[in-house]
Amino acid sequence: LIFCDKGTPKADGRFNFYQAMKAALLELDVEEKDVVFIHDANTDAKRAELLEKVRNGEVRILMGSTEKMGTGLNVQDKMIALHNLDAPWRPADLTQRNGRILRQGNENDEVSIFNYITEQTFDAYLWQILEQKQKYISQIMTGRSALRSCEDMDEVVLQYAEFKALAVS
């Protein structure tokens, strides 16, 4: 499985990262039939057919966004590797992504999860945000926080704080 929330397929012919990734895989002698985008399964029937092909090994590489492949995707049967090409905004999304391979029903005893990061880019900031959010969630959930209460900051305030942090660094 390959997860990427940015550069999803576009019907208007504009450049998209998915097509570029598929082209790179084809250059490595991966067969075209083995690389499929979940976004192409645009009906329930097509989706069911595609997922069955992934489960039985007919499709080796399934690429999609967290929205399309996160919660509820059960194709773990023959999975050996999962690739996170980008970082989602919420820790729960990363948990859902990784949960597609780390689950009962996988025929493989060992699996690999790869997280890709580009140095000196926005990636570092995204992973820092994920870390901070997860620390906050963990403190609240485990009761290890000295806080007696917590407040949900307004989304706009968070956005401004993020812009400020980028400007300072």
* Phi, psi for residue 120 in degrees, rounded to 5: 55, 40
Q: What is the pLDDT of residues 34-71, one digit of tens each?
A: 999 999 999 999 999 999 999 999 999 999 999 999 88
pLDDT of res. 21: 95
- Distance separating alpha carbons of residues 34 and 141, to the nearest angstrom: 41
Residues 45, 66, single domain; the answer is yes
- Distance separating alpha carbons of residues 96 and 104, to the nearest angstrom: 14
Residues 55, 127, single domain; the answer is no
Residues 84, 16, single domain; the answer is yes
Contact between 63 and 4 (Cβ < 8 Å)? yes
- Distance separating alpha carbons of residues 169 and 165, to the nearest angstrom: 6
Beta pairing partners, 83? 2, 114
Q: What is the pLDDT of residues 97-143, one digit of tens each?
A: 999 999 999 999 999 999 888 877 787 778 788 777 877 777 777 77
Residues 101, 163, single domain; the answer is no
Residues 38, 95, single domain; the answer is yes
Contact between 165 and 157 (Cβ < 8 Å)? no
70: DSSP letter: S
- Distance separating alpha carbons of residues 92 and 130, to the nearest angstrom: 10
Q: State the pTM of this model.
A: 0.79
Q: What is the CATH number of the domain that holds 107?
A: 3.40.50.300
Residue 137 sits in which domain range?
122-168
Provide the residue type at 83 as one letter: H
Contact between 149 and 116 (Cβ < 8 Å)? no
* In 4-138, beta strands by DSSP E: 35-37, 61-64, 81-84, 112-115
